[in-house]
Structure 1
Amino acid sequence: MHPSHSSSSIAAFLSGRLLLQEEIPFPLPDSPNTERLPGISKKKQTFYCERCGNDQQDRFAVFPCARCKTMCPYCRHCLMMGRVSGCTQLVHWTGPEPPHEGNGTLQWSGQLSEGQSAASRAVVQAVRHNSEQLIWAVCGAGKTEVLFRGIESALLAGKRVCIATPRTDVVLELAPRLQKVFPGTTVTALYGGSPDRHRYSPLVVSTTHQLFRFYQAFDVTIVDEVDAFPYSYDTSLQFAVQKARKPESALIYLTATPNETWQKECRQGNRPFVKIPARFHRQPLPVPLLSWCGNWRKATQKGRLPANVKDWTMKRLQENKQALLFFPHIDSMQKALLLFQQLDPLITSVHAEDPQRKEKVALMRTRQLPLLLSTTILERGVTFPNIDVAVIGAEDDVFTESALVQIAGRAGRSADFPDGEVRFFHYGKTKAIVKAVSHIEQMNREGIERGWLDR
């Protein structure tokens, strides 16, 4: 981007951002509206990164700096976003925001279920009153549609909205969906290396990591999948969300599986929330069936699949029913893959580092793969209309209650096929397995009590 250096183009580039001098692709004129902050400050004799909030001293290091000719400290924690060092300045715009262009009217003719309508009203109220709100909605409840009216109300009031999510693939899926229903508004998608990253817009869909580059930018911040890794484990990402919102602003959280602390706060009335315990198609969530499969690791190392795992797989192949099989780790999955391929050579696997990840998911969507083995990378954010789901090694620590509920939530999402089977193959029941099943059963009970399920 090479804007003319008028104050309006500088405002459009810098507004709401906190950027390294070298991230700004034009010389900055002296202006009372640009504020410069030190990249690293000292608090009580310890370093503090002004961009990511890191104050852990072991996450800082020093290097011989060509600019200040000293051994200069830098923050290792947010290094992937460009180096913040002791002599770096972060630039922030303090002038007026650019005017909103376009029309924020929602163009969507769909209908909300009763549960979605209740949550939608709560989102609109949070936007109007600059308050916090948790939307606790089962997998497949239609969380995105719940946001539409709240986003519209914000845009029409001249407010700036950000939807933050932990994963790039969710940004890539969400941005075009929002652009379609808000055709009069520019929707910006932000992720590592995204082409939109220099553009100002009133509606932003961003990975949580990209929020390190913002400061008091948004009137409404919506955090999707608040329970998901890495956001749930990384306090600096939580710091980034708080830093990116304006002091007076709305904060809305979306999740199917709040952590135990949040669930307790909801029960005790200390956290405002709306629960959607039923899917929009009014059919119950598939309840996982538990099957003991013995020492499955040992079996696969010896070149065989546990008998009940093999039977389950054969049944799907014979019935031409697609399935996802989740494994705790890449190495155990790849060993098992060779055994599954003896049953059908088209069976393949996918994981986070797989360069063909997108292509394999697309093949699964077009029903060209019978079964797909996966690590937890596909536990959320993907929808295949008619699949069964199995977890091999459900007792592994990687399968938390939240992960198991999300995995079970891959089945039965479509109104045409609401009855997918979910099977947890395990070598011993864990607390997480028991709690996940009980969580799903409880949601179905609440759906029935509220009259939101047909059976």
Structure 2
Amino acid sequence: MKCPRCGNTQKSYFYKGSHGYYCRKCIGFGRLLLEEEINIKLEDIHDDCSEYTMQYPLTKQQEAVSKECQQYIRTKDVLLECVCGAGKTEMVLASIADALNEKRKVCFAIARRQVVLELAERLNIYFKKAKIVAVCGGHTDEIDGDLIVCTAHQLYRYQGQFSLLILDEPDAFPYRGDEVLHGIAKHACIGNIIYLTATPDAYLLSRVKEGMMHHIILNKRPHGHDLPVPRLLIYPSVLLFFILIRWINKHACNPRIIFVPTIKTAKILGFILNIFMQCYVCTSESEDRDEIIYHFKQNPLGVMIATTVLERGVTIPKADICVWHANHSVFDEAGLIQMAGRAGRSFTSPEGDVLFLCSEKTELVQLCKNKIEQANQICAV
């Protein structure tokens, strides 16, 4: 027995009901009988929808990566490992255009709902003749288009529908460690998958080693400047607070994002800082996250306190970054690299500032700093 939706073959997860067997591993997406045919018929691709226009030309390095991805994705999966802010979306446009030109359905799956909506808007600018649909919480009335942009959990709707699937940040939540979501993603695609990430995990690298996918690496941003290397300061928490206040005031000309390890810390720090300045707080408990992010983007001198919900996908021009208690166990290497990657993404402010405040020295924080320095050194060679 094999689940047609998530690919589960473990007998212990199958249950025989009154109408037949169904898989309990992916029951959260609705009951699907093994004998039940998945009759989903999407519309045909529109003519000329593969034409796209970019707002700016790719750099030579981006162009080389784009062509290499375009070549290999026809025959095998591709892991596109690029530093934060390298322009991963722009480098897969040619591959998307190829698929659309051959009347093949394309899906861009992303972890965060906010990023789904933002990316759909960007792709509408690039592919003016294509029907691009965003499918996520609150946006499920229309689920068919030439190019579908959706959250990971919405892929259950599209078993066997896509010839090209682009998975953004597959090493992060909610993909990471979730066999069901990985299975649903694989069964939604009948062709090949492009994995986009700055921090590939052991699973992706093992598939590269086994020859199951082609690996492309780019360690340079389009503006050509080095990645901002985090500065590490190690002091007791009381002193760290005064250092944080000084850092906030010193960088008052730019938007500032302060990453914290827990929701409780975000609320406490937000309450204190709101006494002195306008401060936004964004956590997984924030019901109006989209509105909070929108207002923060409109305030070029604002301060945002956020948990890891903002570590990926959200770009704030000219933002400076501070990670409070970067040594906390809730943070991992990939997360810290992604947080640091929020800085220096703008052409007008390519340097950026990244500060890691630690209550004690840890190997993980130093490892993150070393990895960013190594990426810069590789680019310099």
- Equivalent pair of 1:102/1:186 in contact (CA under 8 Å): no
Matches within 5 A, 1:47-62: 49-54=3-8
Partner Cα separation in structure 2 for residue 313 and residue 192 of structure 1: 35
SS in 2 for 1:162: strand
SS in 1 for 2:39: strand
Structure 1 residue 335 and structure 2 residue 280: aligned?
Answer: no
Q: Report the CA distance between 1:115 and its aligned residue.
A: 2.1
Q: Report the CA distance between 1:195 and its aligned residue.
A: 3.8
- Equivalent pair of 1:51/1:213 in contact (CA under 8 Å): no
Go from structure 1 to structure 2 and tell me whether the alpha carbon gap of 1:375 and 1:55 turns closer, same or farther (over 3 Å shift). Answer: farther
- Equivalent pair of 2:80/2:196 in contact (CA under 8 Å): yes
Structure 1 residue 284 and structure 2 residue 226: aligned?
Answer: yes
**Unmatched tracts of structure 1, length 5 or more:** 1-42, 450-455
Give 1:388's aligned residue: 320
Structure 1 residue 309 and structure 2 residue 244: aligned?
Answer: yes
Partner Cα separation in structure 1 for residue 333 and residue 297 of structure 2: 27
Q: Report the CA distance between 1:198 and its aligned residue.
A: 4.2
Partner Cα separation in structure 2 for residue 73 and residue 250 of structure 1: 30
Partner Cα separation in structure 1 for residue 208 and residue 36 of structure 2: 42
Go from structure 1 to structure 2 and tell me whether the alpha carbon gap of 1:263 and 1:100 turns closer, same or farther (over 3 Å shift). Answer: closer
- Equivalent pair of 1:175/1:189 in contact (CA under 8 Å): yes
Give 1:404's aligned residue: 336
Go from structure 1 to structure 2 and tell me whether the alpha carbon gap of 1:132 and 1:282 turns closer, same or farther (over 3 Å shift). Answer: same
Give 1:428's aligned residue: 360
2:39 aligned to which of 89, 92, 109: 92
Tell me: higher relative CO, structure 1 or 2? Use CA pairs within 8 A at least 6 residues apart: 2
Give 1:27's aligned residue: none
Q: TM-score, normalised by structure 2?
A: 0.90
State, as a whole percentage, how many aligned pairs show the same letter: 33
Partner Cα separation in structure 1 for residue 76 and residue 10 of structure 2: 31
2:286 aligned to which of 339, 346, 354: 354
- Equivalent pair of 2:79/2:204 in contact (CA under 8 Å): no
Give 1:156's aligned residue: 101
**Unmatched tracts of structure 2, length 5 or more:** none
Q: Report the CA distance between 1:379 and its aligned residue.
A: 0.6
Matches within 5 A, 1:144-293: 144-199=89-144, 201-246=145-190, 249-260=191-202, 262-263=204-205, 271-293=213-235
Give 1:142's aligned residue: 87
- Equivalent pair of 2:7/2:187 in contact (CA under 8 Å): no
1:76-131, Cα deviation, whole Å (9 max, x unpaired):
65444334479x945335x9x7542231212235210122112101221134x331
Partner Cα separation in structure 2 for residue 267 and residue 126 of structure 1: 16
Partner Cα separation in structure 1 for residue 89 and residue 266 of structure 2: 32
Give 1:130's aligned residue: 75
Partner Cα separation in structure 1 for residue 126 and residue 244 of structure 2: 43
1:323-342, Cα deviation, whole Å (9 max, x unpaired):
10000010122122222223
Give 2:351's aligned residue: 419
Q: Report the CA distance between 1:422 and its aligned residue.
A: 0.3
Q: TM-score, normalised by structure 1?
A: 0.76
SS in 2 for 1:306: helix
Letter in 2 for 1:313: I
Partner Cα separation in structure 1 for residue 38 and residue 133 of structure 2: 21
Which stretch shifts more, 106-115 or 233-242? 106-115
Letter in 2 for 1:216: G
Go from structure 1 to structure 2 and tell me whether the alpha carbon gap of 1:388 and 1:89 turns closer, same or farther (over 3 Å shift). Answer: same
Matches within 5 A, 1:17-28: none
Go from structure 1 to structure 2 and tell me whether the alpha carbon gap of 1:434 and 1:59 turns closer, same or farther (over 3 Å shift). Answer: farther
Give 1:81's aligned residue: 29
- Equivalent pair of 2:280/2:296 in contact (CA under 8 Å): no
| Aligned length in residues | 380
SS in 1 for 2:169: coil
- Equivalent pair of 1:285/1:444 in contact (CA under 8 Å): yes
- Equivalent pair of 1:141/1:280 in contact (CA under 8 Å): yes
Which stretch shifts more, 98-107 or 51-60? 51-60
- Equivalent pair of 2:106/2:164 in contact (CA under 8 Å): yes
- Equivalent pair of 1:314/1:343 in contact (CA under 8 Å): no
Structure ID, larger Rg: 1
Kindly report the root-mean-square deviation, in angstroms, between the aligned alpha carbons of the 2 structures.
2.8
